[in-house]
Chains A and B, each alone.
Chain A
């Protein structure tokens, strides 16, 4: 069974703090993604990775960085959290290759920045 897990369901941080969100998948997927979901805006892609140590910017990478040291783990880093980064963060993974676009999502992390 497909499984994507995220380190925290709920997180509260202060402005200026460095924040780490962890994502682990057990499906041996090559691709991993980080999104944020905000009301009325749908899911917006922050960063993605198609291989270990590889990363590419998505649509809204500003204020974020990522790390992928192992195939199963993809971390999202907020270098200096700000209130406009309060959001639901979703991690996803998928197989590499045409016709395998289905992404499998974790349960999400609701981050509040005060």
Chain B
């Protein structure tokens, strides 16, 4: 039973355009959400996060939107650059969980075409 779902395994976008990566969750106890980026043969690196008390968080070219009623979050990258090509994982946690475990989605491979 996947509690965090990324339904698009891959996404291709032209350089300079907007990339939108989507993530859905089923567990209503999740109250903190994160996005990680992963290059091949490297560990994931933290990108941006959002608490459930907010509906938007912005950091430079990256913006995360949270729609609690729809149990949906999205990551917007504007403008997209070739160096953004990587696998993006969304993750979620609950304050009721122990040791602040993260539940990860299956990832979306983003390819930014020059």
Interface residues, chain A, with chain B CB atoms under 8 Å away:
4, 9, 31, 33, 35, 40-45, 48-50, 56, 58, 90, 92, 94, 96-108, 110
Kindly state the separation between the CA atoms of A65 and B62 in the bound complex, as whole angstroms. Answer: 38
Instruction: Give the distance to chain B from A47, nearest Cβ to Cβ, in Å.
Output: 11
Partner of A99, one of B32, B41, B89, B99: B32
A55 and B105 CA atoms in complex are apart in Å by 24
Q: Are A42 and B106 in contact (CB under 8 A)?
A: yes
Picked from A43, A49, A101, the residue with its CB within 8 Å of the CB of B89 is A43
Other-chain contact of B107, A42, A92, A99 (Cβ < 8 Å): A42
Q: What is the distance, in angstroms, from B5's C-beta to the closest C-beta of chain A? A: 10
- The answer to whether B59 has its CB under 8 Å from any CB of chain A is no
Partner of B98, one of A40, A56, A103: A56
Extra contacts besides A40-B106, A94-B100 (12): CB < 8 Å: A42-B6, A42-B105, A42-B106, A45-B101, A90-B43, A96-B99, A96-B100, A99-B51, A101-B49, A104-B46, A107-B43, A108-B41
* A-B pair number, CB within 8 angstroms: 66
What are the residues of chain A within 8 A of B107 when measuring CB–CB? 42
CB distance from B30 to the nearest CB of A (A): 10
- The B12-67 residues at the A interface (CB cut-off 8 A) are 32, 34, 36, 41-46, 49, 51
A96 and B107 CA atoms in complex are apart in Å by 26
Q: Which residues of A contact B91 (CB under 8 A)?
A: 43
Give CA–CA (A48, B93) in the complex, Å. Answer: 14
Is B95 an interface residue, CB under 8 A from the partner? yes
CB distance from A56 to the nearest CB of B (A): 7
Show 29 residue pairs from A and B whose CB-CB distance is below 8 angstroms, ordered by the A residue: A9-B41, A31-B99, A31-B100, A41-B106, A42-B104, A43-B104, A44-B104, A45-B101, A45-B102, A48-B101, A50-B98, A90-B43, A90-B44, A94-B100, A96-B100, A98-B100, A99-B51, A101-B32, A101-B34, A101-B100, A101-B102, A102-B46, A103-B102, A105-B36, A105-B43, A105-B45, A107-B42, A108-B41, A108-B42
CB <8 Å contact, B102 and A110? no
With contact pairs A40-B106, A43-B104, A102-B34 given, residues A50 and B46 touching in the complex (Cβ less than 8 Å): no
